[in-house]
Amino acid sequence: MSGRAAAERRRVAPVAGGAGALRVALVGNPNAGKSTLFNALTGMRQHVANFPGVTVEHAEGAYVHEALSVTVLDLPGTYSVSPQSPDEAVALDVLQGRARGVPPADVIIVVVDAANLERHLYFATQILELGRPTVIALNRMDRVAAEGTRIDVPELIHELGVVVVPVSASRGEGIERLRHAIARAPALPPAPRRIGLGDDADVEPRYSFIAGVVERCVVRRPRTARTLSDRVDAVLLHRVWGLAVFVGVLLLVFQAMFTGARPLTDGIEWLVGAAGSVVAGVLPPGDLRSLILDGALGGVGSVLVFVPQIALLFLFIGALEDTGYMARAAFVMDRYVRPLGLQGRSFVPLVSGYACAVPGIMATRTIQQREERLATIMVVPLMSCSARLPVYTLLIAAFVPAVSVAGIAGLQSLTMLAMYLLGTVAALAVASLFRRTLLRSDTRALIMELPPYSLPSPRVLLANMWQRVRIFLRRAGTVIFAISMLLWGLAHYPQLRTTTAAPATPEQQLSHSALGRIGHAIEPAVRPLGYDWKIGVSMVASFAAREVFVSTMGTLYAADGDRTPALARRLREERDPQTGRAVYTPLVAVGLMVFYVFALMCTSTVAITIRETGGGWTGVRWAALQFAYMLALAYGSAWLVYRGGLALGFGAGA
C-alpha cells in the first residue's frame, strides 16, 4: 500500500466492531520479535531474522479484523526515546508524527521480550509516557514457560496501567487476542503518564521502578546448571574456536553450494539447450534466429544456470541469521576488528554484504558513530556479493579441477572460500586505513544483544529465498535480457562484406563488428593483466552489473560461431588466433576473479552510497572515492597476480 493511500484511510472510525481504518505502529527493542509479530499479524512475507537491528526501514502491511482495516508499520528496533543511530531516529520520528509522508499512528504496539522483561521495559515505559493509545505485546511467552518462569500478566497490567497481551509470535499464539486489543485500544483512556521517570539523562529512577515491577510480576525458577545454549556459546564465542567455526561454516556453505546445486544447474543448462533447439527448428537461418539463439538464450541462459547456487546462498545466509548464529559471528569478530578501528556492529553490515551490498550499506544505520559508519559503508562492497557468484563459479568450474584436498573439502569450494575471505580481509584492511586517515575517531565499546538460538522456520526461509531468486530472475529477464540483445547487435553489426566463395569466419565478423572495434580499442588497457579484447569488452559491459560479465561472454562466444559447448568448456578451449596459445589459463582466471573481488561494478551500490553518505555533492564525492579506490585496487591486484604468477613460473598457458 502506498503511503498516500494509507494516509487517506487513517483515522476513519477507530471504534471496535465498526467499519473503519486504524493505523498501528509496531515498536520495541531490537530483537524483541517485531518482524515475526508483524508477519503473524499481517501474514506479509517480510524477512524475519534473529539479528539485532535487522529492520532498518519500516515495512508496512495490513489485515482486517471485525470489519476494521488495520495498517501495521514495522519500525526499526529502538533502545530508548533518545536516538543513538539514524534508524532509531526514523522510528521515533514516525512515533511522534514527525516523519515526512508518514501519518502518526492511532495505536502503538510495544513489543516486549518476556524473556528479557527488565531491559525491554525501559523503552516500553518511555513509550507509555507519550500518552498515546498503547498496547504491550508480551512476546516469547513460550520461551519463558520453557524456562520455568511465570509472569503475572494481570499484575503487570495493574502496574503499568496499560493493556498487556501475552503472545508467542513465532508460534502464532495470542495473535487473535492482540488483534482484539488493538481494535479496542483507541476507545480506551490513554496510557497514564504517571510513571514520570524523567529523560535518559537520569536512568536510575526508571530502572528502580522497573526492578520493582519485575520483582512483583515475575517468578523465576532458580538456575541450577549451565543451559545447552550456554555450552554452545562457550564454543561459538571462544576467541579461537569461534573464529575456526566461522571459517568452517563458510566452507561448508560453499561446499554445499557446489555439490547441492549441480543437478539443478545441469537441468537448467539442458532446458536452455532444448529451447535453443526448438528455436533453431522453427526459424530459418538469419538475423532473428541468431539474435534469439546467441543474444537472448546465449546471454540470459548463461546467467540463469546460476539461479540454484544463488538460491542456496540466500537459504544458508537466512538460516545462519535465523538460528542466531550471525550475531555470534559479529560478537566473535569484534575482538579481531577492534584493533582496526571498527567494532563487531560493523561486521553485521559486512556479513549482509555477502548477499548484496545495498542492504549491507543500509544496515550501517545501526552504527552510531559517523566516522565508523562511513568507513563501513566504504568497504561493504568489497564483501563478495551474490552477483559475483556467477563470475567465480564460471571461472572456477572452467579452471579449478574438481579434486579433494586432504579428503576434507573440494579444491573448487576452497577457491571460492579464498575469494570470499580475500574480500573480507581487504574490507577490514581498507576500513582500518580509512579509520587511521580520513575517518579518525575513538572506537566505542560494543554492546550487543545475543538472540536466543532458535530453529528457523522453513516457510520463512523458503519465502525469503524465493523473494531473492525472484529479484534475480526479474533482473535476468529485463536488464540482462535487454543488454544481451544490444551486445548481440554490437557483435553483429556492421556486417563484413564478403563473397559467397570466401565467406567471413565468425572470428573475422566479430573483430569487424562495433563490439570488436570497442574491444580492440580497450585491449591495451587490459593486456597488462593478461586479458584479450573479449574479456575487456565483458568487463566494460559489466560495469552496469557484475553478472553481465558472464552473459556478455555467453553472447560473445555464441557469436563466435560455437554455441554448443557449455561456456566453461568453451573458455578452456579458446586459443589466441595468432600464437595458438590458450587465452584463459588458470593464472588469468585467478587474476580475473581477484579483479572482480575488488572492483565496484554495480550502479545500485553507487546510488545507495551517494544517499547513505549524506546525498548531494557530499554523497557523490564519497561514492566517487569508493569507486576509484576499488577500481585501482582491482586493477593493481589483478596485475600483481598475473605478473607475479608469470615471474614464479606459473606459465601463460600451453
Contact 334, 343 (CB under 8 A): yes
What are the distances in angstroms from CA 590 to CA 230, 452, 584? 42, 41, 10
DSSP string, 30-79: TTSSHHHHHHHHH-------S-TT---S-EEEEEEETTEEEEEEEPPP-S
Contact 209, 36 (CB under 8 A): no
CB closer to other proteins, 128 vs 491: 491
Closest contact distance (angstroms) between CB of 314 and other proteins is 11
CB closer to other proteins, 408 vs 617: 617
CB closer to other proteins, 359 vs 456: 359
Closest CA to 534 of 564, 575, 566, 503: 575
Contact 427, 379 (CB under 8 A): yes
Angle at 378 between CA 593 and CA 356, to 5 degrees: 55
CB closer to other proteins, 101 vs 401: 101
CB closer to other proteins, 450 vs 469: 469
Query: What is the C-alpha separation between 654 and 651, in angstroms, rounded?
Result: 8
- Reduced to 3 states, what is the DSSP secondary structure of residue 14? coil
Angle at 110 between CA 109 and CA 115, to 5 degrees: 135
Angle at 524 between CA 521 and CA 525, to 5 degrees: 100
Closest contact distance (angstroms) between CB of 362 and other proteins is 6
Contact 357, 380 (CB under 8 A): yes
CB closer to other proteins, 238 vs 474: 474
Closest contact distance (angstroms) between CB of 104 and other proteins is 14
Closest contact distance (angstroms) between CB of 224 and other proteins is 44
Closest contact distance (angstroms) between CB of 419 and other proteins is 21
CB closer to other proteins, 318 vs 619: 619
Closest contact distance (angstroms) between CB of 58 and other proteins is 9
CB closer to other proteins, 267 vs 616: 616
Can you point out the beta strands (E) in 396-521? 404-405, 409-410
| HEC-encoded secondary structure of 507-571 | HHHHHHCHHHHHHHHHHHHHHHHCCCHHHHHHHHHCCCECCHHHHHHHHHHHHCCCCCCCHHHHH
503, three cell numbers: 565467406
Angle at 318 between CA 314 and CA 319, to 5 degrees: 120
Closest contact distance (angstroms) between CB of 444 and other proteins is 24
Closest contact distance (angstroms) between CB of 627 and other proteins is 15
CB closer to other proteins, 170 vs 509: 509
Dihedral, 175, 176, 179, 184 alpha carbons, nearest 10: -140
Query: What is the C-alpha separation between 82 and 220, in angstroms, rounded?
Result: 31
Query: What is the C-alpha separation between 362 and 491, in angstroms, rounded?
Result: 38
CB closer to other proteins, 387 vs 590: 387
Closest contact distance (angstroms) between CB of 468 and other proteins is 9
Distinct helix (H) and strand (E) counts, the chain: 29, 10
CB closer to other proteins, 140 vs 373: 373
User: Which residues bind to other proteins, rule: CB under 8 A?
Assistant: 56-57, 90, 99-102, 283-284, 286-289, 291, 356, 358-359, 362, 471, 474-475, 478-479, 481-483, 485-486, 489, 603-604, 607-608, 610-611, 615-616, 619
CB closer to other proteins, 286 vs 401: 286
Closest contact distance (angstroms) between CB of 390 and other proteins is 16
Q: How far does CA 258 lie from the centroid of its chain?
A: 20
Closest contact distance (angstroms) between CB of 456 and other proteins is 20
644, three cell numbers: 607475479
Does 494 sit behind a cis peptide bond, omega within 30 degrees of 0 on the bond before it? yes
Contact 391, 300 (CB under 8 A): no
Closest contact distance (angstroms) between CB of 74 and other proteins is 14
219, three cell numbers: 517468578
163-166 and 134-139 beta bridge pairing: parallel
59-65 and 68-74 beta bridge pairing: antiparallel
Closest contact distance (angstroms) between CB of 250 and other proteins is 21
CB closer to other proteins, 164 vs 599: 599
Contact 277, 293 (CB under 8 A): no
CB closer to other proteins, 139 vs 386: 386
Closest contact distance (angstroms) between CB of 285 and other proteins is 8
